[in-house]
Structure formats: C-alpha cells, structure tokens
Structure 1
Amino acid sequence: MTDLRPLLDIACAALDQTSGLVTEMAPGAVQAKGDRDMVSEIDFAVEERVREFLQKETPEIGFLGEEHGATGLGGSLTWALDPVDGTANLVNGIPLCGVSLGLIENDRAVLGVIDLPFLGQRFKAAEGHGAYADGSRIAVSRTKVLSEAIVGVGDYAVGEHAQERNVRRLALTARLAESVLRVRMLGSAALDLVWVASGKLDASIALSNHPWDMAAGVAIAREAGAVVMDIDGTAHDLRSAATIAVTPGLRDPVMGLLTVL
C-alpha cells in the first residue's frame, strides 16, 4: 500500500510553487478551446510550474494536466492537475475558482490538495488520514432531509451535442428545484466538492468526470465523510460517468431524484 503522507506533503509543496500566480498574474490572452470553453495564460503558467516541480520530486509518478495532457503514464500512480478550475469565473473577476491537484491510484482518487486563492483557503486530504481546511479537521454536514439541503450542480454542457446533453441537466435542475432548499451552480467542481467536505453544501451533482476536475475534490470529500458515487450509486472511480458527493443522510433521497435521468 502506498504511503500517502509524504506524497501529501509533496502535493502541498507543489501548490506552494503557484503562490501568487492566480491572484497576482493577469489572465493575459484568453484562448478558445472550443464552444464557450477557454484557457488563460494563468492556466498554462500554473500547469507548467506544477508539472516541472513534480517531475523533479516524483519522476516515477505519471502526470495528467488539463492543458498539456499526460506524461509518464503506465504505473499505478498518476498526478491529475486542473491548473485553474473555474477559468470562466477567473477571467470575469468572479473569485470562485481553484487550483486542484489530485493523486490517482489504480483508477481511484486517494489524495487531494485544492487551493482557493481568492478565498485564501487550502483543503487537503489523503486516504485514511482525514480531510483538513487550513489545518483544521473538516466533516460533511448532518443534513438528512432534502427540503433542508443546499445542492451544488455542475455547469451545463457546451460543445458538441450540448443541447441533447443538457436535456438531462435541465431535468435534474427541475427535480432539485422542486425538492431542495436551494440549488447552486458555482462554476467550479473543485469548490463544490470541498464545500461538501466542509459542510457548506449538502450535496454536489456533476454529470461529468474528468480526472483533472474531480480527483482532488473526490479524495477530500470522501475523507470528510461524504458518499461519493456514480449516477447508478456505485462507488466513484475514473470510469464513472458522473461525480455525485453527498452527506450520508442524503444518499438515498438524492438517488431517488436521479431516477429522472
């Protein structure tokens, strides 16, 4: 079994390398990555710095970054980085974005560090060692009733087949609006997941599962006591079609809502 403690320290040191980049560097030229998708110069700068650091510190571990792809894959461990999760928020001056670095072992997220630079917070967790925000232990809420729940949902789809993919998302939003206290679309999967982990949200439902978006937040939410699953209720891993994190008391009620999909 992999000793995750030293790797958690390395992951924290990797994000230390990006200190100030997101908050002090101008987004610069914003490039289109497709229909209503974008990448900024900050995304590239953060990924390049973290990739370089981790290649020196852990050359035996593969690396997958959202902007420059994969290197050194093939072993049981892979770092997964989203250099700015919530780029659309960032370039529009909305402070809800994060730098998200996860570690995947055999298709399962086992470690995560997420910085929310404009909110001045760092969340971290390693499997079996608990989840923390700025050094303090965190845990999910105890909410058990849908009508008392605040639920975060992932962004609507853009790009190819977006209209047909959004039929499911709109149906989900409608079901949630009828049942829960409030629905929130914050524009950052990393933020959604750490807010579930710290009890600010009672559930997060994203009908997607890119490893750079989800790995770190999944590891943190799970260590904070969340149930993290696929849309059919099975345990979440890299092959999952969706990423659903809920406080344990809401698992069955949320699964009941998902039958519409």
Structure 2
Amino acid sequence: MTDAPASLLPVALQATEIASHLVRTRVPGLLTAKGDRDMASEVDYAVERAVRDYLKERTPNIAILGEEEGITGDTNSDLLWAIDPVDGTANFVRGIPLCGFSLGLIERGRPVVGVIDLPFLGTRYHAAQHTGAYVGDRRIQASMTTDLKDAIVAIGDYAVGEGSEAKNRIRITLTERLAANVQRVRMLGSAAIDLAWVAEGKLDASITLSNKPWDTAAGVIIAREAGAQVTDQDGTDHTFNSTATIATAPAVAKEIATLIIDANRLALKS
C-alpha cells in the first residue's frame, strides 16, 4: 500500500466542495429517463462533469467511474475514482433533503478514500484508510449497540427495472424479518446516507442488496474507518465485486447476517 490514499484526500475534499455548491444552488432541471422508474436530473450531469474535469486536472493518471457517464481514463491503473453526483435523485427532485454527493477512491478493488457531502443537511463525512472517519473535524465511531431489538436498521430502495419482481421478493421478505426483530426499519433513499449514518452511529446497520461502486465506495471506507463491519451478503469482506453492501455495528453483525440468509431462503420458497 502506498501513501497515495491519505495524500489524495484533499483532492477529494475540494472536488466535493465543487459538487456541493452545484447541488445547493441549482434546480434539478429536466429529467432524463434511465429505464423503468429511474432518472437523472440536469444537476446529476452538471455535477459529474464538473468533478470529472477537476479530477482529470489534478489526478490525470487515475481513471474515473461516474454513475451517469461511465468510465474514462486508464482502466489498467490500480486506482479508480467513483462518483455519484446526486445519490438519492428521486429525493432531490422532490425537494426531500435526504440526498448527497459521494466520491470514493478505490485501490485494487477496495475503497481507500471517501467523502460524502449532504448539502441540504450541512454535513460532510470523510475518511482515508488507517486515519479514521470524520464528520467535519469530529472523529466518529460506529454504534455500540449489542442487542438486535435495540437496533435501527436502514434498508436500500426496492428494485425497479428488469428482474425487479424477483429481487423485491427478497427485499420484502427481509423487511418483514427486520420488522419482527429490530427496533425500527428505515428506508432513506440514499446508500451514501445509510453508510455515513452507520459510521456516525445514527444507524446500527445498513442493508443494500446491490453494489454499485459510485453508490457505495465512499460510504464503505467511511464506515470501516469508524469501526463498522462491512461485508457482502454472504459475510465475506466487501469489495468492488460484491453483490451487496452490508454495514453493521460489530456486535449485531452475525444476527443481521442470519436475517438476510433467512430472507433469501424464504423468498426462494415463495
């Protein structure tokens, strides 16, 4: 491991400043359909392009993966920026403040730098590998909750598009299992917020049954550096190629994993 991650955190923070200003000062504008019940706003494209331009200037040898415009640059590089210009676009276009900008730096499949900015909540999270996780200048720590019945758990959005019916059987079954065992279930509409709030201890777990690097890279390193356990749904360590993103307070990780296994088994029977 090189010293690159920590040294590139200031670049990520400045890119986030650019993004946050655009999200706060521009209206969503025209919407572009991206498939069944999925969309991007003019702000999504404007933010991604502005951040791409900045990163290309500051780190020309690092490839860039964005939600809206795909991957550019040297794809053989060990490093990759992952941008979600507006995580929670459906919230953003309705004026719901639960949305944010997410920027992660991935090294050989694992995120090593992450910044999440929540422009309408005035909150910015950041982390670099081996340096801790912070909101502003304050170091944060994952929840110390030990009993599942005391846990507040966020679950990712239900699926849309091709194959959504089968995917949602698992999600709905999981929601039922969670409702029967945890204190409260939340669906906030932003993976970035879910992961950041696990890192800060506002949530005890976040369950996202998908893994799109622009959604998750920043949040995964922030949650890990705050002491959360972040895995795939089978309990293996979370990487770029994982099928799901499960972040939990360490003491409830095994019980959450059991609920996910049970939900998959029950959904397959239905």
TM-score by length of 1: 0.99
Please give the residue correspondences for 1:23-62 in structure 2 after superposition, counting only pairs within 5 Å. Answer: 23-62=24-63
CA distance in 1, matches of 2:20, 2:254: 40
3-state SS in 2 of match to 1:204:
strand
> Which residue type is aligned with residue 223 of structure 1?
E
Q: How does 1:125-144 map to 2 (within 5 A)?
A: 125-144=127-146
Deviation at 1:2, TM superposition (A): 2.3
- Secondary structure at the aligned position of 2:50 is classed as helix
Cα drift, residue 5 of structure 1: 1.8
Shift of 1:167: 0.6
How far the C-alpha of 1:205 sits from its partner, in A, is: 0.3
**Where does structure 2 lack aligned partners over 5 or more consecutive residues?**
265-270
Measured after TM superposition, the shift of residue 15 of structure 1 is: 1.0
Aligned pairs for 1:7-26 within 5 A: 7-26=8-27
Q: Residue 34 of structure 2 aligns to a residue in which SS?
A: strand
> Take 2:222 and 2:94, find their aligned partners in 1: how far apart are those partners?
27
Q: Which amino acid aligns with 2:64?
A: F
Q: Secondary structure at the match of 2:170?
A: helix
Report the 3-state secondary structure (helix = DSSP H, G, I; strand = E; otherwise coil) of the residue aligned with 2:251: helix
1:15-48 per-residue CA deviation (whole Å, 9 max, x = no partner) reads: 1122421111010001111000010000001000
Q: CA offset at residue 258 of structure 1?
A: 1.4
* Equivalent residue pairs, number: 261
Partner secondary structure for residue 245 of structure 1? strand
Query: Cα deviation per residue 1:56-92 (whole Å; 9 max; x = unaligned)?
Result: 0001111000001101121100000000000000001
User: Does the residue aligned with 2:165 lie in a helix, a strand or coil?
Assistant: helix
Q: What is the CA–CA distance in structure 2 between the aligned matches of 1:16 and 1:95, rounded to whole Å? A: 18
Q: Which residue of 2 aligns with 1:6?
A: 7
TM-score, normalisation: structure 2: 0.96
- CA distance in 2 between counterparts of 1:44 and 1:175 reads 38
Write the deviation string for residues 161-207 of structure 1: whole angstroms up to 9, x where unpaired.
Answer: 11111011011001000000000000000000000000000000010
1:172 corresponds to: 174
- Consecutive unaligned residues in structure 1, runs of 5 or more: none
Counterpart of 2:115 in structure 1 is 113
In 1, distance between residues paired with 2:175 and 2:87?
Answer: 22
Deviation at 1:53, TM superposition (A): 0.2
CA positional deviation for 1:252: 1.0
CA displacement 1:208-233 (0-9 Å, x = unmatched): 00000000000100000000000110
In 1, Cα distance between the equivalents of 2:24 and 2:31?
A: 16
User: Partner of 2:88 in structure 1?
Assistant: 86
Do the aligned partners of 2:191 and 2:215 also contact (CA within 8 Å) in 1? yes
Q: Is the 8 A contact 2:20 2:101 kept in 1?
A: no
Q: Distance in 1 between matches of 2:146 and 2:13?
A: 34
Structure 1 equivalent of residue 227 of structure 2:
225
Please provide the CA RMSD for this pair: 0.7
Give the aligned partner of residue 267 of structure 2: none
Corresponding position of 1:71: 72
SS of the residue aligned with 2:86? strand
Letter in 1 for 2:146: K
Q: Within 1, Cα distance between the matches of 2:76 and 2:53?
A: 19
Rounded to whole Å, the distance in 2 between the matches of 1:137 and 1:259 is 33
3-state DSSP of counterpart to 2:162: coil
1:210 is aligned to: 212
Matches within 5 A, 1:183-202: 183-202=185-204
1:158 is matched with: 160
Which aligned runs of 4 or more in structure 1 are off by greater than 4 angstroms?
Answer: none
Report the AA paired with residue 58 of structure 1. T
